[in-house]
A and B are shown apart, each in its own frame.
Chain A
Amino acid sequence: MKLSATTAVAIALAATGAYAQQTEVNILRVQPGDEEEAFYAEVEAAYEAEHPDVDVVFEYIANEAYKSRLPTLLQSDARPDIFYSWGGETLREQAEAGFLQPIGDTVPEDVLSTFPEAALELYTVDDSLYGLPLYATEVIFWVNTDLTEEAGVDHTQIKTWDDFLSAVQTLKDAGVTPIIAGAQDKWPVHFYWSYLALREGGPDIITTAMSGDGDGFENEAFVAAGEDMVELVDLDPFQPGVMGTTYETASGMFADGMGAFHLMGDWDYLPMRGRATDGEGLSDDQLAIMPFPVIADPVAEGGAGATLGGINGWAVTADASPEAVDFLTFLLDRDNQETIAERGIFIPIVEGADQALTNPFFKQVAQDINQSTYHQVFLDQFLGASVGATVNDVSADLVAQATTPEEAASRVQEAWDFR
């Protein structure tokens, strides 16, 4: 009796001792899908089993709330050790304000070498690495092949913007809504303007404009992109009420078979089915993906092989412990990322992990990104919050025929000047 009591006390003491030494690693992420959340729970458990002195805590916040809360959180004592990031200008602003930790020397060399150079570049500000990339996405046209076949359009033959415009006309003549878009949220239509600018101006058009060379955002490539967009809008290609449709509604409408094309990221594959009225949406056989068409006679050559999408990842905050960085490398190691790929959750950025992909659409997208001459990150993230929102504004205005291509370009330049 006495012995057991002593043992109990000893165990209790040991437990408190261990608890007191535990390092907490807090991770904040935009709310992911259920499968991804389950995956993080598994990784967390695996890591904690190996490192009993570390307590990993994942926290999730909805997308818009995340973006608005992050600046305040970063300035408070409650800031997370690791947080979800889109890289680009926003990361630069955070790094310049001193909220981030350079991790280039903490992350082992053999881990760094598993990431593509270009992806690491996005998490680097003035030669210091502040985070690690997680996955890549690409914006493509989702095609409802039932509808294109019905109208006699062969989507595999759409190579140029003119091909695309005539396909839109053919679909309209056949009584099919050619394109579904969620223009109320604006960002879904900024894909058009961004892609057309890349196609018209070549892969480095955005970085050139940011540096102020070649008339900045008033370069004729941006105006030409606007004109191409106007050509499309003049055909009245969208579903009725496009300006009052959100991304979620548009995604559901496409899955309900209400239109032939939807320009959206590969990430919409599972969510659009969830948003369909019957909860099933289009089957894999009824779906296809198509790269954004090229321009036959662009302003500057070289944009045909560029892709638009995201390279999302993790940033590490200034006073995060070494354990935080260690957990991050654990999370991003090849084995874990292959699991992600096998389950079809997303397309991991770690080199070689995409071999494990089984989903045919994701396989295609992974191949596109690998072959891409330049992977441009979404302009509304890449250019920072304010200029990005202006790009969204002018894109939506072009769809609503409320602005001209010239005015659109100069509004973006103005926002860039006032940044």
Chain B
Amino acid sequence: MSESTMPPPDRRPGPAERLREAVSNGRLTAALILLPPALVLFTLFVILPLGESGWYAFYDWNGYGTPEDFVGLQNFEQMFGHSVFSVAVGNTVKILVISLVVQMPLALLLALLVYRQTPTNAVFRLIFFVPYIMAEVAAGLIWSFVFDGNYGVTASIATTLGIDKFFILADRDLAFYAIMVVIVWKYFGFHMMIYIAALQGVPDDQIEAARIEGASRTQIVRHVQIPYIRPAIAVSAFFAIIGALQVFDIIIPLTNGGPSNQTHTIVTYLYEFGLTRLRIGFGSAVGVVLFIVAVLVAVFYQRLFMRKAAS
């Protein structure tokens, strides 16, 4: 805040002078009035819990009373030695890959089809965007009905084709693929919207010029439109990565992490093994690891891609 509102750098005022000026032009008063609410809320609900879980992570604590049983790094050792944690990390990586390799290209393709302002496109845009608007838990419940081999849509398919009933969510190997289908379905609309907004910003004369030069449709997409919307793609990939680290509420109604803990993500792992089992210390340790990963991703991604994309 202060950086951008400072007087021009050539004057280089001293701190006392700057303070005096801030008081006289009312900027300080504004800061004193406007800053505390946000600062207090942020401290209470973000900074404080963060610090607290960093502290709990070193205790064996069941959530009752105050943590007393200091165990050093034991929670972390246990986590990294736990086979379900490896499964959860693997699943999170799978979601990440599927988001980048399937979901984003699909979103881009659809965006290219519907980005122009026409009434039909508006209808399709709405249809594609509906899954994203829907609450995660509701979407999970709908899909658990789709996948239900006894009463659901797959049951009707099996009956129609005259094959044995199949239960995707009950299958240790297939359940997570079903979840990834739901995730792609749920979030592609979001990425599509980002691309649509960006595509509408591509100057028409550029496309026109390319066409006059004899560029084909795919060439226009590859060499004009995609380079233009690169910053938007960088942003959408960033959301996809952070989103992959956070997947939780889709899984709970679909499989609750099962069968035999094969469909956990890092967050459902934290919830199941930290919170529902009342091992708050252990859960905090998982939270700390997740936080560090998220921060590293955010920082490095900004450094590596967002700057380059912006420049």
A240-B167, A241-B149 as given contacts; A184 in contact with B260, CB under 8 Å: no
Cβ contact within 8 Å between A244 and B64: no
Cβ contact within 8 Å between B64 and A242: no
Cβ contact within 8 Å between B276 and A389: yes
Residues of B close to A400: CB separation below 8 A: 172, 259-260
Residues of A close to B276: CB separation below 8 A: 67-68, 385, 389
Does B139 count as interface, using CB distance less than 8 angstroms? no
Residues of B close to A97: CB separation below 8 A: 64-65
Does B169 count as interface, using CB distance less than 8 angstroms? yes
Residues of B close to A71: CB separation below 8 A: 62-64, 278
Find the B residue at minimum CB distance from A390: B277
Residues of A close to B63: CB separation below 8 A: 71-72, 75
- B258: which of A96, A240, A396 is its contact (CB, 8 Å)? A396
Does A288 count as interface, using CB distance less than 8 angstroms? no
Cβ contact within 8 Å between B150 and A243: no
Cβ contact within 8 Å between B172 and A402: yes
Residues of A close to B164: CB separation below 8 A: 240
Find the B residue at minimum CB distance from A95: B64
Kindly name the residue among A74, A183, A386 whose own CB sees the greatest number of chain B CB atoms within 10 A: A386
What is the interface residue range for chain B against chain A? 20 to 34
Cβ contact within 8 Å between B255 and A74: no
- Determine how close the nearest CB of chain B comes to the CB of A226; give it in whole angstroms: 14
Does A342 count as interface, using CB distance less than 8 angstroms? no
A384–B65 CA distance with the chains assembled, in angstroms = 17
Does B165 count as interface, using CB distance less than 8 angstroms? yes
Does A262 count as interface, using CB distance less than 8 angstroms? no
Cβ contact within 8 Å between B259 and A94: no
Residues of A close to B255: CB separation below 8 A: 184, 244
Does A245 count as interface, using CB distance less than 8 angstroms? yes
Cβ contact within 8 Å between A240 and B260: no
A320–B67 CA distance with the chains assembled, in angstroms = 25
Find the A residue at minimum CB distance from B280: A71
Find the A residue at minimum CB distance from B75: A418
Does B170 count as interface, using CB distance less than 8 angstroms? yes
A93-B64, A402-B172 as given contacts; A184 in contact with B278, CB under 8 Å: no
Cβ contact within 8 Å between A243 and B259: yes
Residues of A close to B279: CB separation below 8 A: 385-386
Does B309 count as interface, using CB distance less than 8 angstroms? no
A126–B261 CA distance with the chains assembled, in angstroms = 36
In the complex, which residues 141-180 of chain B have their Cβ closer than 8 Å to any Cβ of chain A?
A: 147-150, 164-165, 167-172, 175
Residues of B close to A75: CB separation below 8 A: 63-65
Cβ contact within 8 Å between A241 and B167: yes
Cβ contact within 8 Å between B277 and A241: no
Find the A residue at minimum CB distance from B165: A240
- Determine how close the nearest CB of chain A comes to the CB of B226; give it in whole angstroms: 41
In the complex, which residues 389-414 of chain A have their Cβ closer than 8 Å to any Cβ of chain B?
A: 389, 393, 396-397, 400, 402-403
- Determine how close the nearest CB of chain B comes to the CB of A62; give it in whole angstroms: 14
- Determine how close the nearest CB of chain A comes to the CB of B227; give it in whole angstroms: 46
A415–B109 CA distance with the chains assembled, in angstroms = 49
- Determine how close the nearest CB of chain A comes to the CB of B143; give it in whole angstroms: 12
Does A349 count as interface, using CB distance less than 8 angstroms? no
A256–B228 CA distance with the chains assembled, in angstroms = 60
- Determine how close the nearest CB of chain B comes to the CB of A6; give it in whole angstroms: 51
A385–B259 CA distance with the chains assembled, in angstroms = 20
- Determine how close the nearest CB of chain A comes to the CB of B180; give it in whole angstroms: 17
What is the total number of residues of chain A having a CB less than 8 Å from a CB of chain B?
35
Does A116 count as interface, using CB distance less than 8 angstroms? no
Residues of B close to A396: CB separation below 8 A: 258-260
Cβ contact within 8 Å between B259 and A93: no
- Determine how close the nearest CB of chain B comes to the CB of A254; give it in whole angstroms: 13
Does B86 count as interface, using CB distance less than 8 angstroms? no
A287–B116 CA distance with the chains assembled, in angstroms = 64
Cβ contact within 8 Å between B150 and A241: yes
- B261: which of A183, A240, A245, A393 is its contact (CB, 8 Å)? A393
- Determine how close the nearest CB of chain B comes to the CB of A71; give it in whole angstroms: 4
Does B275 count as interface, using CB distance less than 8 angstroms? yes
Kindly name the residue among B167, B170, B259, B277 whose own CB sees the greatest number of chain A CB atoms within 10 A: B259
- A98: which of B65, B149, B170, B172 is its contact (CB, 8 Å)? B65
Find the A residue at minimum CB distance from B274: A386
Does B29 count as interface, using CB distance less than 8 angstroms? no
Does B302 count as interface, using CB distance less than 8 angstroms? no
A183–B258 CA distance with the chains assembled, in angstroms = 9
- Determine how close the nearest CB of chain A comes to the CB of B126; give it in whole angstroms: 33
Residues of A close to B165: CB separation below 8 A: 240-241
Does B216 count as interface, using CB distance less than 8 angstroms? no
Does A99 count as interface, using CB distance less than 8 angstroms? yes
In the complex, which residues 42-89 of chain B have their Cβ closer than 8 Å to any Cβ of chain A?
A: 62-65, 78
Kindly name the residue among B78, B169, B172, B260 whose own CB sees the greatest number of chain A CB atoms within 10 A: B260
- Determine how close the nearest CB of chain B comes to the CB of A69; give it in whole angstroms: 11
Cβ contact within 8 Å between A243 and B260: yes
Does B246 count as interface, using CB distance less than 8 angstroms? no
Residues of B close to A393: CB separation below 8 A: 260-261
Cβ contact within 8 Å between B277 and A186: no
Find the A residue at minimum CB distance from B74: A418
Cβ contact within 8 Å between B278 and A386: yes
Find the B residue at minimum CB distance from A253: B150
A243–B261 CA distance with the chains assembled, in angstroms = 11
The 22 listed contacts between A and B (C-beta, < 8 Å) are: A67-B276, A71-B63, A71-B278, A74-B64, A75-B63, A97-B65, A184-B170, A185-B256, A241-B149, A241-B150, A241-B170, A243-B259, A244-B167, A244-B171, A249-B150, A385-B62, A385-B276, A386-B278, A400-B172, A400-B259, A400-B260, A402-B259
Which 7 pairs between the two chains have the least Cβ-Cβ distance? Answer: A241-B167, A244-B170, A97-B64, A243-B259, A243-B170, A97-B65, A386-B277
